[in-house]
Chains A and B, each alone.
Chain A
Amino acid sequence: MVRDHPAPTPGPTQEPSESALLVRRFLSRIGFYVFVVIVSAFFALPMLWLVFAPFDAHPTLAATPPSSPTLANFPDLLKDPYALPSLVNSVVLAAATMVLVVAAAAPAAYALSRVRIPGRDLLLYVLLLFSSVVTGTAAMVPLFLLVFDLGLINTYIGVVLVLAGGLTPAGIFILKDFVDSMPKSYEESARVFGAGSFQILRDIVLPYARPGLAVIAVWVVVNVWSNFLIPFILLRDPGMLPAAVVVYNFYTEGGQANLRLISSFGLLYSIPVVVMYLFVNRRYGFRFYGGIKG
């Protein structure tokens, strides 16, 4: 640096002493921790509530340790004829949708990754846009009419098809990234050794993209598990409703929430997802970007 003007006059603002610097660093550190604590509390409090409230005889909306601990909420919950079956229904819907999405997305991602067709990327982006941005509420009426015309109202097939249709494009998109990252020489060497396309898909592409498959499988299950709208519209029989819809049974006619039942049902509702996440993470490991090797 060239100094062509006189040196600035020394003053406390220009040259903070070492101790002032330390204090400032200390304060900014404290500020950071306070911020982190507030943000964490914001997300942690509902979890805490979910752990405490189901075991409280008189739960409120506050996340406090049970004042009068009890296990009686759970037998009460099981008196509801739809509570436990709805969790089974959710498992059935989630599993069926997951199988369908994975089965459709894997070959599609492989083909889209390896075959050059004009407008391929545009096709993929348009599919993604329409499936993930325009679905749900906006497409509710046409979806209902379509399923009605197909005679699939009040069937799981109808629900699974609609859910899978909405989730498959994003699944293809995620998986394609994994397949893209696979060196072409893997398939070429298999081809030279005599393997056919489906054999290559089975022996090489799918095992290679396994973390990707795990990602979309979990993502599909979580999506279906929490989806309220589609089963609510397409199913009529209360015995077929999944948990996300049945949770509304625990409101009184006046709209008053029964916190005892809602909280204990909420706990049962969240356990399968947590267990699945832990299992998949342990068994397959999540890897969100195919290009980065774990």
Chain B
Amino acid sequence: MADLEIRGLTKIFPGGMRALDGLDLQIKDGEFFALLGPSGCGKTTLLRSIAGLETPNSGQILIGGRDVTRLPPAARDVAMVFQDYALYPHMTVADNIAYPLKVRRVGRKERRETAESVGRSLQIQGAMLDRRPGQLSGGQQQRVALARAIAYRPHVFLFDEPLSNLDARLRLEARTFLKQLQRELGVTTVYVTHDQAEALALADRMAVMDQGRIRQLDTPSNCFLRPANTFVAAFIGSTPMNLLPATVQDGKFEVAGQKVMIPETIRAQVSAGDTVILGVRPEYVSVSPTELPDSLTGTVRVLENLGVDSLVTIVVGDLRVQATVPEERVPAVGDRIWLAPDQRRLLAYRQDDGEQVGAPTVAQSDAPARVPSAE
């Protein structure tokens, strides 16, 4: 068990690609920490740097207060689960699980015992231990890879998209299982994913990364409810957040020629004539077939069934706004409807750098979300 600290980590690949750009990060002991971002954002490079598989150009990595930046992977006490699981095809499941012990020259009998006891906790037992990885299903392979990492008894778990090779249904089961397992073991975990739903579901805290920098470092609920900038706002959420250009006029936001009230918390931060980008999630837009005060109006263009809700795309002036509507109130395509964003969930971002209105001008990559609401 150990905490993990990253100080000013920079990695530039040959060819000039800056994968990590002076990154700072602190992960607490026992924390489940997710690194989220689009492909090429540097999240996997960061994970591999922690593992010791990449050598950073500058900066430090500390595990449990010990500087491991220049140490080989073996001396770091970290275990990694790879996207393809990296199970050795020529070894049995038991030999795979116990391979870390074989490297440490533990005797054959003890290796078998460890494989059995660790395997049992992950429902890998009986005849399965003597099969080859190729004979197992995807979900079983994933559990064997986990078992091998656990058998190593590391200070830190590193997961590189371990669920992405599973089919959708199994992925949900494995996700729940993984979270429960991490709670029981209490081992500090860094989890890389490009799937925002996975990060939200699993993590205690998460970092949203883009181009080698952290754009927001916060709890999943803060990242979802109060994205620090338009990048995070657009990246997180199963239905993308509405990002609408607006200007401040007569104490109101003017969006596509229509007026919306400025929430109490933002009012002090803006002045007349400012242009901003308003952000509101489709879940926080209420829809009415009759006129609402301080609302936008437009016609329904597209309906998408999401199961419990429907995602409604409404054309407002020259903008498109999306709202989720419960099944009993779904309008028809072509209807004229009124939209009112939830005042407590309405966010404003600066036009120029996309950061939240009220945040310091120099965007700090690792700054926690500036909370505008009064909660």
Q: Is A183 close to B, CB under 8 A?
A: yes
Given A189-B82, A189-B148, A193-B152; 7 other pairs, CB 8 A cutoff: A189-B80, A190-B103, A191-B52, A192-B52, A192-B73, A193-B103, A194-B100
Q: Is the CB of B74 within 8 A of A195?
A: yes
Set A183, A195, A196: member contacting B86, Cβ < 8 A? A183
Q: Mark contacts of B138-157 with chain A using CB atoms, 8 A cut-off: 1 yes-contact digit, 0 otherwise.
A: 00000000001000100000
| With A192-B52, A193-B74, A195-B74: A186-B86 Cβ-Cβ less than 8 Å | yes
Q: Is B51 close to A, CB under 8 A?
A: yes
CB distance from B158 to the nearest CB of A (A): 8
| With A192-B52, A192-B73, A194-B74: A208-B82 Cβ-Cβ less than 8 Å | no
Q: Which of B51, B79, B82 has the most CB of A within 10 A?
A: B82
Give chain B residues whose Cβ lies under 8 Å from the Cβ of A210. Answer: 90
Q: Which of A192, A203, A208 has the most CB of B within 10 A?
A: A192
Q: Is A185 close to B, CB under 8 A?
A: yes
Q: Is A239 close to B, CB under 8 A?
A: no
Give chain B residues whose Cβ lies under 8 Å from the Cβ of A186. Answer: 86, 88
CB distance from B364 to the nearest CB of A (A): 32
| With A185-B84, A199-B103: A194-B73 Cβ-Cβ less than 8 Å | yes
CB distance from A128 to the nearest CB of B (A): 28
Q: Is B33 close to A, CB under 8 A?
A: no
Give chain A residues whose Cβ lies under 8 Å from the Cβ of B78. Answer: 192
Q: Mark contacts of A166-209 with chain B using CB atoms, 8 A cut-off: 1 yes-contact digit, 0 otherwise.
A: 00000000000000000101101111111110010001100110
Q: Is B169 close to A, CB under 8 A?
A: no
The 4 closest A-B pairs by CB, nearest first: A194-B74, A185-B86, A193-B100, A189-B86
- Interface of B with A (CB < 8 Å)? 51-53, 72-74, 78-80, 82-84, 86, 88-91, 99-100, 102-104, 148, 152, 158
Give chain A residues whose Cβ lies under 8 Å from the Cβ of B100. Answer: 193-194
CA distance A190 to B91 in the complex (A): 13
Q: Is the CB of B53 within 8 A of A188?
A: yes
CA distance A207 to B91 in the complex (A): 9
| With A183-B84, A185-B84: A192-B89 Cβ-Cβ less than 8 Å | no
CB distance from B190 to the nearest CB of A (A): 13
Q: Which of A191, A193, A210 has the most CB of B within 10 A?
A: A193
Q: Is the CB of B104 within 8 A of A190?
A: no
Q: Mark contacts of A244-271 with chain B using CB atoms, 8 A cut-off: 1 yes-contact digit, 0 otherwise.
A: 0000000000000000000000000000
Set B84, B89, B99, B158: member contacting A193, Cβ < 8 A? B99
CA distance A190 to B74 in the complex (A): 9
Give chain A residues whose Cβ lies under 8 Å from the Cβ of B158. Answer: 192
The majority secondary structure among interface residues of chain A is helix
| With A188-B86, A207-B90, A208-B89: A195-B79 Cβ-Cβ less than 8 Å | no
- Nearest A residue to B99 by beta-carbon distance? A193
CA distance A196 to B74 in the complex (A): 9
Q: Is the CB of A203 within 8 A of B102?
A: yes
CB distance from B298 to the nearest CB of A (A): 50
CA distance A130 to B362 in the complex (A): 63
CB distance from B182 to the nearest CB of A (A): 18
- Nearest B residue to A207 by beta-carbon distance? B90
| With A193-B100, A193-B103, A194-B100: A188-B82 Cβ-Cβ less than 8 Å | yes
Set A185, A190, A196: member contacting B99, Cβ < 8 A? A190
CB distance from A114 to the nearest CB of B (A): 13
CB distance from B111 to the nearest CB of A (A): 13
Q: Is the CB of A204 within 8 A of B53?
A: no
Q: Is the CB of B79 within 8 A of A192?
A: yes
Q: Is the CB of A191 within 8 A of B84?
A: no
- Nearest B residue to A182 by beta-carbon distance? B89
CB distance from B88 to the nearest CB of A (A): 6
CA distance A203 to B158 in the complex (A): 23
CB distance from A226 to the nearest CB of B (A): 32
Q: Is the CB of A194 within 8 A of B104?
A: yes
Give chain B residues whose Cβ lies under 8 Å from the Cβ of A203. Answer: 88, 99, 102
CA distance A148 to B99 in the complex (A): 50
Q: Is the CB of A208 within 8 A of B90?
A: yes
CA distance A191 to B79 in the complex (A): 10
Q: Is the CB of A192 within 8 A of B51?
A: yes
Q: Could you name 25 residue pairs across A and B whose Cβ atoms are closer than 8 Å?
A: A183-B84, A183-B86, A185-B86, A186-B86, A188-B51, A188-B86, A189-B82, A189-B86, A189-B148, A190-B103, A191-B52, A191-B74, A192-B73, A192-B79, A192-B80, A192-B158, A193-B79, A193-B100, A193-B148, A193-B152, A194-B73, A194-B104, A196-B74, A203-B99, A208-B89
